[in-house]
Amino acid sequence: MDGRLTKGGNIPWPHRRAALTVAGLSEGASVLAFLVTAAGKVRTDDDFVFFNNPAVPGVAVLGQTAELDLDLVPDDVDRIVVAVVADDADPEPLSSRALEVGVEPDGLRVEVTGLTTERAVVLVEVYRRATAWKLRNVSAGWTEGFAALVRTHGVQVDDDGAAPETEPTTTAPDTPAISRTPAGAPDPRSPTAEPAAPAISPPTVAAIGPTINLRKPGIDAIDLGKRTGAINLRKGQQVTITKSFRIVATCTWPRTTDYDIYALVRYRDGHCETVATFGTQGNERNFQLTTRDGAVRHSGDVGRAQSKGWRRKQATPDVGLETVEITLNSEILAVVPVVYSAQSNGGGSFRRYQVSMAIDNGSGDTVTIDAGDASDDEDIYTCVPGIIINDPDGVRIQFLELYSAVGSEQRPEVGGDLIVAMDAGPVNAFK
């Protein structure tokens, strides 16, 4: 093959064995691996492969190389995650290194790009698709480092108190130690142990809020794979559900306020359409309730007087609810539902009203996204809960929870690479 795999790309992997060697690391950085189920978690801590547990059936980590023998991987392992953790003695994030993963026997080069302040990064995943295997360039991680990485994949760490599971960009305790040490192996907490266990630098990122305005689906999300039933997504996760004839995205909010939803629809030919019940400044009357092909349709504004034919009274006084109906076709790349509260509606923070979005395929699969990190600021008017991506093998949904800048009523935009940019579009008309 002797090619390059860019960030977010995936390819079939027909070989039963593979060697993944990470180039560009500092001397003290560590290569790690996790064998995880379809839920994205290890079955036990024994599925965490690192310098103190260097080999398990199907996976071995030797220095800066992870060696895979897929014939030996247990059947209930959905994918193998290969990651790297920065050396605590190195003050620079991993983005300062020209990281690349060489994959043999094909000579494939995996480019690790798009990093910023991360100190722990998932480089690649080798995952099952039906009876075959595929390889994906993930290139995304956590500023908080080692603790966030291992907790996300279900490995327990010792610290001063009970520690919840950690999602990307959340705060993690300082200097945790791995909770297991095989008999006869050096304790990673010992000052004489070689090599030293990666320690955690104090978190340096700000809390999630309106300053975060870009997110690329499939890149910085932990992939839960294909799931069925009721699924509650958490920050930094994505999931794939079965593609059905009609997908319904519903946004709800409690109490008596007036939120509205609209949807950005990105097509594979490069153009984007907006489905909304209102226009933008200077084009107040220029809006459409359906895309030109009729594939994406707004069900109508709820909670308004019936002054126009497309407005409906709110059915339940204490619950606001609006829906976007999606009939996916091969030309649609993605749909981005947007929740909006006009400035003229008065104050009302997303945290206070706990806006949530549910995506239902009508076949028993429902994905729920809650605004758990919402700000109390009453001058934040726009939220993008997630993105719905039209993949060949299903409908992929990623939790984004992006917010507009304080006081901004500009619409977001979505590019052909599926980067959602907040406050990049025209200004919504006051209603």
* Matching fold, domains 4-178 and 214-421: yes
* Superfamily of structural domain 4-178: sav2460 like domains (2.60.60.30)
Q: How does pLDDT run across 354-413, given as a tens digit for each residue?
A: 677 889 988 888 998 877 677 677 788 888 889 999 998 899 999 888 888 888 889 999
Q: What is the pLDDT of residue 202?
A: 28
Asked if 264 contacts 272 with a C-beta cutoff of 8 angstroms, the reply is yes
**Confidence (pTM):** 0.49
Q: What is the pLDDT of residue 114?
A: 86
Q: What is the pLDDT of residue 347?
A: 52
Domain ranges of the chain: 4-178, 214-421
Q: How does pLDDT run across 94-132, given as a tens digit for each residue?
A: 888 889 999 999 899 999 988 888 889 999 999 998 889
Alpha carbons 60 and 66: distance in angstroms, whole number: 6
Name the helix (H) or strand (E) containing 350: helix 350-353
Q: CB under 8 Å to 15, separation ≥6 — which residues? A: 70, 105, 106
- One digit per residue, the tens of pLDDT, for the chain of length 431 reads 458 899 888 999 999 999 999 999 887 888 999 999 988 899 998 899 988 888 899 999 988 999 999 999 999 999 999 999 988 777 888 888 889 999 999 899 999 988 888 889 999 999 998 889 999 999 988 888 888 899 889 887 654 333 333 333 322 323 233 333 333 333 333 333 333 333 323 222 222 222 334 444 544 568 888 888 888 888 778 889 999 888 999 887 665 566 788 999 999 998 999 998 888 888 877 788 899 999 998 877 654 333 332 233 333 445 567 889 999 999 999 999 998 876 555 555 676 666 778 899 888 889 988 776 776 777 888 888 899 999 988 999 998 888 888 888 899 999 888 888 999 999 988 65
Match 């620079």 to its residue by tokens.
Answer: 92
CA distances from 127 to 10, 57, 130, 282 (A): 10, 16, 10, 49
* Superfamily of structural domain 214-421: sav2460 like domains (2.60.60.30)
